[in-house]
């Protein structure tokens, strides 16, 4: 029986008294939820995934012989581009099978995080917003600023094209749509639309994702 302190901690953190435990499972779960936090600390009321927490977990997945596969569960609005792309590259570099599942949203830098896995799923009602990178704070009005933006966008585009079935031409076309988002540029893809465009491999949920990952492990 769990002690009272652990029960109280469970209620505080997860809203439940008892949490189902994975017994001898060879699969590691990596949730990427909320906003990707990078070099800047986000406000306390913002739900975040901190890259300094994710990176050691990914190293542990690679080095632990008991872990045979990784399931990445995504519901993110995006966030720090450098941090998100670094996490995506680390997921892609793992030697063990990886599967991603977009359950709510995989927006902005969440797109390469979803395509980084060996195989990707999206739930029928989940959405992905594809748009050009943005910058907050001070912007210096010189040509070099645009060149920096362009190089950063090229890095993201190259990764998405390399890790999915979408062409670069189609990806740029989706990013530059002007009639989808209010006062913005980009495209909203819902469920099977992400599959049709070649970003995601299949529409499915937890059962399909786990089944696929177990097949890849065997």
* CATH code, 119: 3.90.226.10
Q: Does residue 8 contact residue 36 with C-beta atoms inside 8 Å? A: no
Number of domains in the chain: 1
Choosing from 100, 108, 117, 120, the catalytic residue is 108
Q: Which of 160-164, 181-185, 210-214 has the lowest mean pLDDT?
A: 181-185
pLDDT greater than 90 at residue 138:
no
Q: Which residues form the domain of 188?
A: 25-212
**Share above pLDDT 70 across residues of the chain, in percent, rounded to a whole number:** 90
Judge whether 108 counts as a catalytic residue: yes
Does residue 217 sit within a domain?
no
Residue 189 placed within a domain: yes
**Is 20 domain-assigned?**
no
Phi, psi of 140 (to 5 degrees): -85, 125
Q: Is 131 a catalytic residue?
A: yes
| pLDDT value of position 141 | 83
What is the per-residue pLDDT for 28? 93
Mean pLDDT of the chain: 88
Identify whether 10 is part of a domain.
no
Q: Assess whether pLDDT exceeds 80 at residue 182.
A: no
Catalytic member of 107, 117, 123, 131 = 131
Label residues 121-150 b or e (16+ Cβ within 10 Å = b): bbbeebbbbbbbeeeeeeeeeeeeeeeeee
Residue bearing the bigger pLDDT, 14 or 145: 145
Is residue 45 in a domain?
yes
Q: Of residues 216 and 78, which shows the higher confidence score?
A: 216
């Amino acid at each position: 029986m769990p002690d009272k302190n652990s029960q109280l901690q469970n209620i505080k953190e997860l809203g439940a008294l008892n949490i189902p435990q994975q017994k001898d499972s060879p699969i590691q779960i990596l949730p990427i939820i909320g906003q990707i936090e990078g070099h800047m600390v986000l406000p306390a009321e913002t739900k975040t995934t901190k890259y300094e927490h994710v990176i050691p977990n990914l190293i542990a997945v690679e080095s632990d012989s008991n872990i045979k596969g990784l399931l990445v569960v995504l519901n993110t609005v995006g966030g720090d581009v450098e941090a998100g792309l670094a996490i995506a590259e680390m997921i892609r570099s793992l030697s063990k099978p990886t599967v991603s599942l977009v359950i709510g949203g995989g927006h902005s830098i969440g797109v390469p995080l979803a395509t980084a896995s060996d195989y990707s799923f999206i739930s029928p009602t989940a959405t992905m917003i594809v748009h050009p990178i943005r910058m907050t704070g001070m912007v210096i009005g010189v040509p070099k600023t645009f060149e920096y933006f362009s190089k950063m966008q090229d890095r993201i585009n190259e990764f998405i094209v390399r890790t999915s079935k979408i062409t670069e031409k189609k990806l740029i076309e989706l990013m530059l749509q002007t009639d989808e988002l209010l006062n913005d540029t980009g495209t909203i893809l819902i469920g099977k639309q992400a599959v049709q465009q070649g970003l995601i491999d299949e529409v499915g949920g937890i059962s399909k994702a786990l089944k696929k990952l177990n097949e890849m492990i065997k």
